[in-house]
């Protein structure tokens, strides 16, 4: 194991640099014969934000887990301050000043914010936990980060975004020299992201090395100094962010030209004709206390409605009411020509409505079942347990969708938990397409997944709408909403504030609508 002295060729030559705080050399990790990482290197310098880039399954998470001692490495070496070092447990890594915040919040929902922040290192007095000191210390950290969260409140009562910020506060509370943020922004809105970036900049200026993983290219460009790009478990190279254009980066990540996105040009004008028919779904004053104020909505055949709005604006709440995941207190819902009360998801599925939740892990995947079972779950549920799907039909459906959606690994018997986020999302999409819905409600179907999978999912949505399916599309990425939708519904503060055809609407127009309505309200209040 001495041949790894050669540095990865892509590292920019001739630059005078301080010593890296962490250097990973030629790391290889295999799981049951499959190489998840093959000779990958990573250099982290103090006082920089280092973006780790790559599609889902490129090996970003594996590399992070190798660094933090979750996985042991098969070959290669990790140098910390120039000395070889391997951590056998995550706790050992944390002890050495390497803190990690993962995409999914890994905290205890029924403890308080302070308890979560100091879990495992509570201040003690006479052998007992000193609650007052704990709350004080948590408050200090939160103040330092400029976060307005009460340390004594119960974590589970906060929205996911706030929980995410608490997780980051927890990581910062430790004297961290290296902070690893794995997709920390996927559930944050723009303000919260900005707050996070402020925190990151201040930590960076204090000499902390930050590893940042995000699928939002704009965020990468706003905050990062340097990046390392991975593809299929191999190292593509290390680049300075300022010297690499976004287009170059995307090419490096996916290894081919990305013309896929270009092709999704929906013909918005054509849908005007469709609207002359009967709406397939019509909501009248649909509302639910504490979740959504009365909303009117019409959905036509072959139409994509984009729900735009910030996180917490009521987008998800509306989607859940349309599917019967929650029941409405007031208002009515017409599906086809009849008025329906959707009492349960089952009810909605029988009316050929499908809904893919924004919480992939808690409300979507069944982790310990196979890909095939996950795909067929909704169809099987609506057939009832007494009528199992015949074997031939099963394999026909499963292999058809594995192929059309390009799901990897293409193994129907793989356990769902072993798939990457993007592939899990595709399986969930397949679960609903198999039920042949008339109305498809997608809540954040592209969150936290790589650009290739994202383009594929967008393409599928566009194709489905052309074939006559009606789609309600929700995404925090306004560009994506604008690219796909025929009609825009803008939400704010749990109600609908605007609706318009998607013609010559730009991202800033939408933001203007949201901001404008806020200003108008303030004016009337004054």
Q: Which ranges of 246-305 would DSSP assign to H, the alpha helix?
A: 246-254, 260-263, 271-274
Q: How would you label 386-425 residue by residue, b for 16+ Cβ within 10 Å and e otherwise?
A: eeebeeeebeebbeebbeebebbeeebebebeebbbbbbb
Stretch that binds other proteins, among 36-44, 107-115, 220-228, 342-350 (CB under 8 A): 342-350
Instruction: Output b/e per residue, 256-286; b: 16+ Cβ within 10 A.
Output: eeeebbeebebebeebeeeeeeebbbbbeeb
Using CB under 8 A, which of the segments 154-162, 208-216, 281-289, 371-379 binds other proteins? 371-379
- Choices 99-107, 153-161, 340-348, 400-408 (CB under 8 A): range interacting with other proteins: 340-348
Q: Give the binding range for other proteins (CB under 8 A) out of 15-23, 381-389, 396-404, 512-520.
A: 381-389
The CA-atom distances, in angstroms, between 373 and each of 249, 381, 405, 406, 426 are 37, 11, 16, 17, 14
Per-residue contact flags (x/-) with other proteins for residues 285 to 324, judged by CB under 8 A = --------------------------------------x-
Q: What is the SS3 assignment for 236?
A: strand
Whichever of 201 and 383 has its CB closer to other proteins, that residue is: 383
CB of 320 to other proteins, least distance (A): 9
Residue among 158, 231, 431, 454 that touches other proteins (CB under 8 A): 431
Distance CA 187, CA 413 (A): 31
Residue spans of alpha helices (H) in 409-485: 421-433, 451-466, 478-484
CA 494 – CA 485 distance, rounded (Å): 21
Closest distance to other proteins from the beta carbon of 437 (Å): 11
Cα-Cα end-to-end distance for the chain: 72
The DSSP code for 112 is: B
φ, ψ of residue 293 to 5 degrees: the values are: -85, 160
The distance of closest approach from Cβ of residue 308 to other proteins in the complex, given in angstroms and rounded to an integer, is 24
Does residue 110 belong to the site contacting other proteins (CB under 8 A)? no
Interacting residue with other proteins among 365, 439, 440, 469 (CB under 8 A) = 365
Q: Minimum CB separation from other proteins for residue 346, in Å?
A: 5
In this structure, the strands spanning 234-240 and 304-308 are: unpaired
Segment interacting with other proteins, rule: CB under 8 A, options 175-183, 357-365, 472-480, 517-525: 357-365
Min. distance of Cβ 86 from other proteins in angstroms? 12
CB of 385 to other proteins, least distance (A): 4
Residue closer to other proteins (CB basis): 118 or 325: 325
Residues that bind other proteins (CB under 8 A): 71-72, 74, 323, 325, 344-346, 349, 355, 357, 362-369, 373, 377-378, 380-389, 431
């Amino acid at each position: 194991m001495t041949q790894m002295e050669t540095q990865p060729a892509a590292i920019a030559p001739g630059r005078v640099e301080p010593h890296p705080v962490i250097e990973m050399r030629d790391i290889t990790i295999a799981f049951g014969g499959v190489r998840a990482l093959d000779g990958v290197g990573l250099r982290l310098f103090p006082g920089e934000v280092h973006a780790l880039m790559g599609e889902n399954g490129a090996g970003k998470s594996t590399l992070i887990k190798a660094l933090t001692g979750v996985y042991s490495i098969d070959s290669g070496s990790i140098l910390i301050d120039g000395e070889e070092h391997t951590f056998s447990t995550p706790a050992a890594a944390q002890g050495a000043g390497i803190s990690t915040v993962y995409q999914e919040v890994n905290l205890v929902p029924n403890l308080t914010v302070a308890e979560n922040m100091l879990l495992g290192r509570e201040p003690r007095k006479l052998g007992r936990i000193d609650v007052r000191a704990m709350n004080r210390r948590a408050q200090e950290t939160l103040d330092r980060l400029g976060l307005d969260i009460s340390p004594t409140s119960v974590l589970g009562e906060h929205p996911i975004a706030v929980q995410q910020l608490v997780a980051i506060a927890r990581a910062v509370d430790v004297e961290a020299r290296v902070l690893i943020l794995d997709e920390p922004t996927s559930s944050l809105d723009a303000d919260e992201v900005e707050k996070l970036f402020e925190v990151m900049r201040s930590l960076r200026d204090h000499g902390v090395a930050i590893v940042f993983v995000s699928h939002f290219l704009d965020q990468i460009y706003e905050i990062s100094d340097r990046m390392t790009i991975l593809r299929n478990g191999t190292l593509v190279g290390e680049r300075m962010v300022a010297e690499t254009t976004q287009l170059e980066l995307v090419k490096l990540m996916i290894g081919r030209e990305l013309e896929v996105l270009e092709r999704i040009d929906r013909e918005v004008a054509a849908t005007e004709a469709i609207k002359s028919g009967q709406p397939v779904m019509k909501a009248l004053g649909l509302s639910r206390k504490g979740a959504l104020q009365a909303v009117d909505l019409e959905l036509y055949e072959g139409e994509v409605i984009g729900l735009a709005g910030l996180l917490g604006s009521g987008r998800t709440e509306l989607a859940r009411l349309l599917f019967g995941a929650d029941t409405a207190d007031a208002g009515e819902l017409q599906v086809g020509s009849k008025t329906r009360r959707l009492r349960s998801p089952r009810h909605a599925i029988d009316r050929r409505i499908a809904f893919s939740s924004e919480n992939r892990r808690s409300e979507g995947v069944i982790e310990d079942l196979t890909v095939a079972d996950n795909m067929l779950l909704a169809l099987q549920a609506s057939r009832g347990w007494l009528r199992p799907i015949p074997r031939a039909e099963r394999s026909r459906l499963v292999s058809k969708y594995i192929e059309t959606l390009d799901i990897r690994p293409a193994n129907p018997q793989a356990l769902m938990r072993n798939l990457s986020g993007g592939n899990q999302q595709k399986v969930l999409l397949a679960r609903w397409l198999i039920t042949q819905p008339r109305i498809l409600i997608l809540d954040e179907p592209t969150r936290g997944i790589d650009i290739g999978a994202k383009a594929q999912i967008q393409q599928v949505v566009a194709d489905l709408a052309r074939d006559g399916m009606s789609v309600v599309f929700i995404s925090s990425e306004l560009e994506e909403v604008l690219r796909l939708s025929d009609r825009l519904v803008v939400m704010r503060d749990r109600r609908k504030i605007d609706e318009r055809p998607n013609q010559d609407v730009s991202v800033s127009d939408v933001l203007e609508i949201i901001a404008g309505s806020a200003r108008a309200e303030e004016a009337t209040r004054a």
